[in-house]
Structure 1
Amino acid sequence: MIRQSQIKRPGFIERHNLWTENQKEASQKIKAVVKEQDLLFVRAAWSDQHGIVRSKWLLAQAFLSALENGMQISTGTFLFDTGGAMVFNPFVPGGSLDMPLMTGAPNLVAVPDPDTFTIVPWAKRTGFILCDEYFQNGQAMPFSSRGILRQSLLELDQRGLECIVGLEVELYLAKLEDPMLGLAQVGCSGKPGEPAKVSPLEHSHQYLFESHNPEIHDLLGVVVENLVEMGLPLRSVENEGGVGQFEFTFDPIPALQAADTMMIFRMATKQICRQQGYIASFMCRPGLEGCFSNGWHLHQSLVDKTTGENAFMSANSETLISDLGKHFVGGLLKHANAACVFTNPTINCYKRFRPYSLAPDRAGWGLENRGVMIRLQGGFDDPTTHIENRVGEPAANPYLYMASQLICGLDGVDHKLDPGSPTEEPYTTENSLLPKTLQEAISYLSESKLFSQKMGQQFINFIIKIKHSEINRFLESVTDQPPEEYLTQVTNWEQREYFELF
């Protein structure tokens, strides 16, 4: 006779049917790897609303349990702005979010995604995995940015399409001179500490300068070796125009995998460099002498899942891109200003939108033109045809960045929006100007019926309140400066807030 206590009850993941068959198979392989490699820890991680990796270190046995029941985490990481200031009071009904499930800062369940498991090569006996967040009743957490991208991809899948994304990301590397770890320097909640003091990695501004390679080869070699060992689809590395500025590009891959890759890339690069005595910063415009802005150019195409063909490729010798592709561009341009909250979520990055630079200052498009927002590459009968959105900053949350592209682009497809003619003069066309500040971008988002409908009004209210907290703290720090200064020059507040965070 079988006793009740001997019956194995299904775990949280099985009860709520949260994994596909492929994920279930992958989880069995992970269990074998944990045992074979005698892993001590697995870092179970998730993305917060800012696109920052948060994690818990689980000992091996606890991780194996999490593969059945998930991992208990606090809702705390959803309550703070970029500086760690608490935006929402959880100890009132609804947690200040009009959500009964958020009352009292209850635990969430972080469910590991077996498709993202990897070994951390720079840390002994350590694994890493990304998670999705759920409430205790199995309901998806509506503020999960990875979940929001999944929803956008589900809508795309229902149209018989798949989104393919190529990452092109710029960052700064600098030698760490003083980490500023004195008690008076480390800061507190809502007031980040003094930024680390750094020195240049190389001498002078020289774009793609081969002779600088002896200065940077060893560090880049360590970074690249670890990224490749983690299985990231790295394609190239190049020295950009700024002192210590580099660009990393990755092979085109499906959108969710690309977003996960960006999360892991930023996290890994920062940790590897710090271990070597350097700082890697994805801040858009660091407060370093002679600094150029960092951009994150997002290469995108859609593929017909039935035929496998590029849905942006033109079959008409008189057109550069298919009708679907043209309307997709039309949607990106129409909703560009509202989408800036997701493509450009920091105060710092709006100092990058300058005329006659390698960044756009208005919502236009063109063929092989690096001054436009949407750069078209390819053309008639070219299977590599795709668009490159040059608006984004490398500190953006990758899930929200990519979701915003699909939301805007598909609205253009549904309404057959015409992007107008491609331009050869991106800084003098009549296209609408991009926002000059984060506050201006928020104003556009608050008026957007499209984003409220697709991401949910609850999430839009949440992200706007988070960003208002960030803006208010910034404005309080610059009361003694005229706007023409703090809106154009990188302030000490920005360096403290973003340089080491992103």
Structure 2
Amino acid sequence: MNSLDHWNWRLTPGQQASPEQLDLQKAKQFLTQNHIRYVLAQFVDIHGVAKSKSVPVDHLEDILTDGVGFAGGGVHGLRLEPHESEYMLVGDLSTLKLLPWAPGYARVMGTGTVDGKPHPIDTRNILKAQTARLSERGWVLNTGIEPEFSLFQRTADGSVCPLDDTDCLQKPAYDYRGLSRVRVFLERVTESLQALGIDVYQIDHEDANGQYEINFKYADAVTSADNIILFKMAAAEIAHELGAICSFMPKPKSSMTGNGMHIHCSLADAEGRNIFHDKSDTSGMGLSKLAYSFTAGILAHAKALTALLAPSVNSYKRLVVGRTASGTTWAPVFVAYGDNNRTAMVRIPYGRIELRVGDSGMNPYLAQAALIAAGLDGIDRNLDPGPPQNINFYALTPREIADRKIDVLPQSLGEAITALEQSDFFRSALGADFIDEFVSHKRDEWIDYHRHVSDWETKRYLSFF
């Protein structure tokens, strides 16, 4: 960890890292004042991984007018063939941000277009289409997304272990030493986010050795997704510079808790009031009738929704019933909701909803688009989620859970993809072409996984028969 000890990075006092409501001329002045040489024109692929072209700052206006062209066939999930039109990213000036961890660089996101029209397979466009449905009703979905991650170093034999090799407690959650000994990384990431105007309000050591979480204030759904991408960029690059690996893999080690990405959410009206909150709620959870119907929509589409929130083979090593070495699990597999119940897929903090299924490998645009679609379906059909389940599901036997008529989430990517493929609702809400593309990619991943022979299989069966 010597590389951590010599890091003296700090923001310049008074530096402002994100322009607000700037016109083009002011944006150019802002970039000049901050010595920006290149602007990354940026979008994400179907997996939520950032893709970019580096554009000299003198051509900022081109990004905003003509757009920046990409060969769509070279990117996962755009469903564009090599002979078809370019994928053009037309920048949105309001997304212009400096990158404090990459001096001289800024980034801008925007609308992905093909032949001058928003591309329906672009997951940021899919989210914007769902938020537009909310806007028609005078609503905004505010989300606070909680990314968990693992901070590793690679050992001589090629394996990975926690960056802090003294982080070895059996129950390390909230441990001071585990937090303090990687503080240089955590401080630098936090200060980068703060410089971008992202309000970080707490940082903690999570339940596994080498696992952390940085929480920042809620925003509207599109901005929240944009912020998650910025966070992942910052964390990955800062870790790399410090000789570490910042992993968002859902379940990096079988003996450790997985990396979740919980979504706290509420709907706000035109005045900014939380319309999920109703202090007269007799249950004591502070939810409005609208919030209950939104929750019911999530539960009604839970299995297909899981494919979009837990989108990898590895995700389902996290979504299993059982206990971890530290004594509990934070990845609920039960289709239920409850008052502050972390063993149900939907937890109710007072006056809002927390969806706990998603992991840090999810595409935040796609996950939130699916969340909005499912919740609105619950509202439109006036669904009832039934009574809250305020019990520890992990203390019940499978028979006791079945007797309560509580369903279980898919236990493999294959099962989840089948549920999504058979969902006429999501095919209609998110687009049949997109669902077909997503299912195709994930079917290939599932088949490829099944062709792989693991070390576990070799150890168990090599001389068994």
> Are residue 67 (structure 1) and residue 73 (structure 2) matched?
no
Cα distance, 1:23–1:227 mapped onto 2, change above 3 Å: closer
Residue 212 of structure 1: how far off its partner (Å): 3.2
> Are residue 431 (structure 1) and residue 373 (structure 2) matched?
no
Cα distance, 1:485–1:298 mapped onto 2, change above 3 Å: farther
Corresponding residue to 1:293 among 255, 258, 270? 258
Residue 473 of structure 1: how far off its partner (Å): 1.5
For residue 351 of structure 1, what is the aligned residue in structure 2?
317
Cα distance, 1:223–1:63 mapped onto 2, change above 3 Å: same
Residue 241 of structure 1: how far off its partner (Å): 1.7
Residue 210 of structure 1: how far off its partner (Å): 1.5
What TM-score comes out, normalization by structure 1 length? 0.79
> Are residue 245 (structure 1) and residue 223 (structure 2) matched?
no
Tell me how far apart the structure 1 counterparts of residues 443 and 454 of structure 2 sit (CA, whole Å).
17
Does the 8 Å contact 1:133/1:144 carry over to 2? yes
Residue 358 of structure 1: how far off its partner (Å): 1.7
Tell me how far apart the structure 1 counterparts of residues 460 and 127 of structure 2 sit (CA, whole Å).
37
> Are residue 145 (structure 1) and residue 123 (structure 2) matched?
yes
Tell me how far apart the structure 2 counterparts of residues 25 and 37 of structure 1 sit (CA, whole Å).
15
For residue 186 of structure 1, what is the aligned residue in structure 2?
none
For residue 443 of structure 2, what is the aligned residue in structure 1?
468
Compute the RMSD of aligned alpha carbons: 2.5
Tell me how far apart the structure 2 counterparts of residues 484 and 450 of structure 1 sit (CA, whole Å).
43
Tell me how far apart the structure 2 counterparts of residues 71 and 211 of structure 1 sit (CA, whole Å).
46
For residue 308 of structure 1, what is the aligned residue in structure 2?
272
> Are residue 365 (structure 1) and residue 331 (structure 2) matched?
no
Corresponding residue to 1:391 among 343, 349, 357? 357
For residue 459 of structure 1, what is the aligned residue in structure 2?
434
Does the 8 Å contact 2:65/2:91 carry over to 1? no
Q: Secondary structure at the match of 2:51?
A: strand
Corresponding residue to 1:280 among 246, 256, 272? 246
Tell me how far apart the structure 2 counterparts of residues 332 and 162 of structure 1 sit (CA, whole Å).
17
Deviates more, 1:68-77 or 1:436-445: 68-77
Corresponding residue to 2:108 among 123, 129, 139? 129
Does the 8 Å contact 2:307/2:417 carry over to 1? yes
Tell me how far apart the structure 1 counterparts of residues 321 and 458 of structure 2 sit (CA, whole Å).
19
For residue 30 of structure 1, what is the aligned residue in structure 2?
27
Unaligned 5+ runs, structure 1: 1-21, 81-87, 89-96, 181-194, 379-384, 487-502
For residue 92 of structure 1, what is the aligned residue in structure 2?
none
What amino acid does structure 2 have at the position aligned with 1:301? S
Tell me how far apart the structure 2 counterparts of residues 127 and 457 of structure 1 sit (CA, whole Å).
35
What amino acid does structure 2 have at the position aligned with 1:276? L
Alignment of 1:102-117 (within 5 A): 102=81, 104-117=83-96
Q: Secondary structure at the match of 2:118?
A: coil
Tell me how far apart the structure 1 counterparts of residues 459 and 140 of structure 2 sit (CA, whole Å).
44
Does the 8 Å contact 2:249/2:360 carry over to 1? yes
For residue 168 of structure 1, what is the aligned residue in structure 2?
146
Cα distance, 1:351–1:102 mapped onto 2, change above 3 Å: same
Does the 8 Å contact 1:48/1:77 carry over to 2? no
What amino acid does structure 2 have at the position aligned with 1:110? L
Does the 8 Å contact 1:166/1:251 carry over to 2? yes
Tell me how far apart the structure 1 counterparts of residues 386 and 377 of structure 2 sit (CA, whole Å).
16
Residue 211 of structure 1: how far off its partner (Å): 3.1
Residue 102 of structure 1: how far off its partner (Å): 4.4
Cα distance, 1:295–1:479 mapped onto 2, change above 3 Å: closer
Alignment of 1:182-201 (within 5 A): 197-201=160-164
Q: List per-residue Cα deviations over 1:248-304 (Å, max 9, x = no partner).
A: 11112111110111111111110111011111011110037x422111110000112
What amino acid does structure 2 have at the position aligned with 1:235? Y
What amino acid does structure 1 have at the position aligned with 2:264? H
For residue 154 of structure 1, what is the aligned residue in structure 2?
132
Cα distance, 1:416–1:47 mapped onto 2, change above 3 Å: same
Does the 8 Å contact 1:26/1:115 carry over to 2? no
Tell me how far apart the structure 2 counterparts of residues 211 and 23 of structure 1 sit (CA, whole Å).
38
Count of matched residue positions in the alignment of Structure 1 and Structure 2: 423
What amino acid does structure 2 have at the position aligned with 1:443? T
Q: Secondary structure at the match of 1:72?
A: strand
Tell me how far apart the structure 1 counterparts of residues 61 and 32 of structure 2 sit (CA, whole Å).
10
Does the 8 Å contact 1:23/1:113 carry over to 2? no
Does the 8 Å contact 1:200/1:243 carry over to 2? no
Corresponding residue to 1:51 among 48, 58, 61? 48
Cα distance, 1:114–1:342 mapped onto 2, change above 3 Å: same
Tell me how far apart the structure 2 counterparts of residues 375 and 476 of structure 1 sit (CA, whole Å).
37
Tell me how far apart the structure 2 counterparts of residues 48 and 291 of structure 1 sit (CA, whole Å).
29
Q: Secondary structure at the match of 1:260?
A: helix
What amino acid does structure 2 have at the position aligned with 1:363? V
Q: List per-residue Cα deviations over 1:315-335 (Å, max 9, x = no partner).
A: 534243211110100000010
Q: Secondary structure at the match of 1:263?
A: helix
For residue 405 of structure 1, what is the aligned residue in structure 2?
371
Residue 430 of structure 1: how far off its partner (Å): 2.1
Residue 144 of structure 1: how far off its partner (Å): 0.5
Tell me how far apart the structure 1 counterparts of residues 72 and 130 of structure 2 sit (CA, whole Å).
24
What amino acid does structure 1 have at the position aligned with 2:410? P
Q: Secondary structure at the match of 2:209?
A: coil
Q: List per-residue Cα deviations over 1:51-99 (Å, max 9, x = no partner).
A: 000111111223332222111111034446xxxxxxx9xxxxxxxx6xx
What TM-score comes out, normalization by structure 2 length? 0.85
Residue 208 of structure 1: how far off its partner (Å): 0.6
Does the 8 Å contact 1:39/1:60 carry over to 2? yes
